[in-house]
Amino acid sequence: MLFIGVDLGTSAVKLLLMDETGKIHKVVSKEYPLYFPQPGWSEQNPQDWIRQSMEGIKELTAQCDKSQIKGISFGGQMHGLVVLDKKDQVIRPAILWNDGRTGKQTDYLNQEIGKETLSRYTGNIAFAGFTAPKILWMREKEPENFARVRKIMLPKDYLAFYLSGEFSTDFSDASGTLLLDVEHKRWSEKMMEICGVRESQLPKLYESWEPTGAIKPEIAEELGIPQDVKIIAGAGDNAAAAVGTGTVGEGQCNLSVGTSGTVFISSKNFGVDEHNALHSFAHADGNYHLMGCMLSAASCNKWWMEEILRTKEYQKEQEGIWKLGENPVFYLPYLMGERSPHNDPDARAAFVGMSMDTTREDMTQAMLEGVAFGLRDSMEAAKSTGLTPKRSKICGGGAKSPLWRKIIANVMNMKIDRIESEEGPGYGAAILAAVGCGVFSSVEEAAGRLVKITDTEESDPQLAEKYEEKYQKYRKLYPALKEFYHIE
């Protein structure tokens, strides 16, 4: 049997073909554009997702026995707003997770509705990237478009809708809308009322491994695959990546160093941290998780390398870095504002501590360390709830750098495990498809049997102590610079 995992990312859709033993047969990636129509805005054309996904599936399955394909599932960029009219046509470009236009609406939700009230309704407070503030923005700024809305979707669910015709989502992705009562796994009537939407406009809710339907006959014919291929609900990208790294069950941890960066801790119980610095979401294994999200992680590396240094030789730029724990330069990784723990869409990146003898290597090292410190911020928030993981899996593009893994292990002062497959959300999605097709009885069973650790980065006590001192200095920088981010 074969299963297709679709990772609908911010810059590309990545598709992989996996068999029931967990072996990956092929991986295909198709890029699509990202649009910034105004400063701080971030949008995509949902038709680009469809076109590239369809081409990707054709390429992925070109050489395999297509009769063996049993299921397709998804991991997708979260929080995006996709709206359809009564003819199921897309009304406007999708507003993405890293879009910062909703500062006014976010403040309204947090200050006038109130953080405590929001947390009671949903388990979370409002962040600028969440879906609900986008709905409020659209209602205020584009009332004619808002009046046409008949279906509200998340990015991966629009692709699933195209493939199956079923209007659905899963609990993990729905958790990031601020419309879901996460603890009780149902749409919140109070939040729908606040946002001016009806439950009929929201998709049917499923667990991540549940089939939502079958592929439409005309799509099956176009792709050359069987008409009984199941479409499985899937998960938000971080929950799917957690499945793909075996971060399921109680107290497991995963660090993702992708475009964004996340600290993801699984739990069998619903919980909220004291200051709502972390997201309290449903997990793809049927349980819950706490997640801290920084908006710019590996994207800081891409920006520094390609836009500033004008090079794509990432590894070469790291070769001259050796004085770990002793770099006087600090970097704040807030290129697109920041979510956890500051919830400040106006925050901006900064280098601090440069002098005449600062080198190119110092700056690159500071950038890598700044992202690690940003991840540590979320870990500290998690520790305040009593969760104290001693080791973590790691995934994402940044995880491929040995130097970055070493820095992260010592900044966190914990063991960092690499796994055999570094495909993250796509691999997790394929595992969910296998569970949905009955190969495994549960997500935990599947992850336990398929995910394998290949090596572990240990922290060094002396280096970890140096980084502890640097981290305490780093923590003082955002409060000191905050007033400069809000100058009119």
- CA 262 – CA 254 distance, rounded (Å): 8
- CA 97 – CA 293 distance, rounded (Å): 11
**Amino acid present at 34:** L
Give the residue from 97, 85, 357 showing the smallest Cα distance to 238: 97
Is residue 432 within 8 Å of 234, Cβ to Cβ?
Answer: yes
Mean pLDDT for 300-304 is 97
pLDDT tops 70 at residue 99: yes
pLDDT of residue 412: 97
Mean pLDDT for 480-487 is 84
260: exposed, middle or buried (Cβ count in 10 Å: 0-12, 13-18, 19+) = buried
Task: Tell me how far CA of residue 145 lies from CA of 85, 102, 158, 225, in angstroms.
Answer: 9, 17, 18, 37
Does the annotation place 79 within a ligand binding site? yes
Share of the chain above pLDDT 70, in %: 100
Give the residue from 275, 282, 197 showing the smallest Cα distance to 238: 282
pLDDT of residue 445: 97
Q: Cis (ω within 30 of 0) for the bond into 341?
A: yes
pLDDT tops 90 at residue 273: no
Mean pLDDT for 259-275 is 88
- CA 406 – CA 274 distance, rounded (Å): 31
Give the residue from 9, 149, 15 showing the smallest Cα distance to 82: 149
Kindly report which listed range (86-95, 126-135, 270-279) carries the lowest average pLDDT score.
270-279
Mean pLDDT for 242-266 is 92
* Active site annotation includes 237: yes
* Helix 237-244 with 425-436: angle, nearest 10 deg: 80
Torsion of Cα atoms, 385 then 455 then 332 then 261, to 10°: -60
pLDDT of residue 397: 87
Q: Write down the mean pLDDT value for the chain.
A: 95
**Amino acid present at 93:** P
pLDDT tops 80 at residue 13: yes
Give tens-digit pLDDT for 17-50: 999 999 999 999 999 999 999 988 999 999 999 9
- CA 436 – CA 90 distance, rounded (Å): 29
* Strands 180-181, 186-187: pairing kind: antiparallel
Does the annotation place 486 within a ligand binding site? no
Mean pLDDT for 215-228 is 97
* Helix 237-244 with 443-450: angle, nearest 10 deg: 50
Task: Provide the token pair at 393.
Answer: 């899996």
What φ, ψ does residue 341 adopt, rounded to 5°? -100, 5
484: exposed, middle or buried (Cβ count in 10 Å: 0-12, 13-18, 19+) = exposed
**If you count them, how many residues does the chain have?**
488
pLDDT of residue 487: 56
Mean pLDDT for 437-462 is 95
Higher pLDDT, 272 or 68: 68
386: exposed, middle or buried (Cβ count in 10 Å: 0-12, 13-18, 19+) = exposed
Is residue 167 within 8 Å of 83, Cβ to Cβ?
Answer: no
Mean pLDDT for 163-175 is 98
Share of the chain above pLDDT 90, in %: 86
Give tens-digit pLDDT for 309-327: 999 999 999 999 999 999 9
Which pLDDT band, with edges at 50, 70 and 90, does 128 fall under?
A: confident
* Active-site annotation holder among 237, 273, 344, 377: 237
pLDDT tops 60 at residue 407: yes
pLDDT of residue 317: 96
pTM for this model (two decimals): 0.87
Which residue's entry shows tokens 């501590």?
353
Mean pLDDT for 428-441 is 98
* Strands 2-8, 82-84: pairing kind: unpaired
- CA 413 – CA 462 distance, rounded (Å): 10
- List, in order of start, the domains of the chain with CATH numbers: 2-238 (3.30.420.40), 246-423+458-488 (3.30.420.40)
- CA 329 – CA 365 distance, rounded (Å): 8
- CA 295 – CA 7 distance, rounded (Å): 18
pLDDT of residue 420: 86
pLDDT of residue 378: 93
**Amino acid present at 202:** L
pLDDT of residue 274: 78
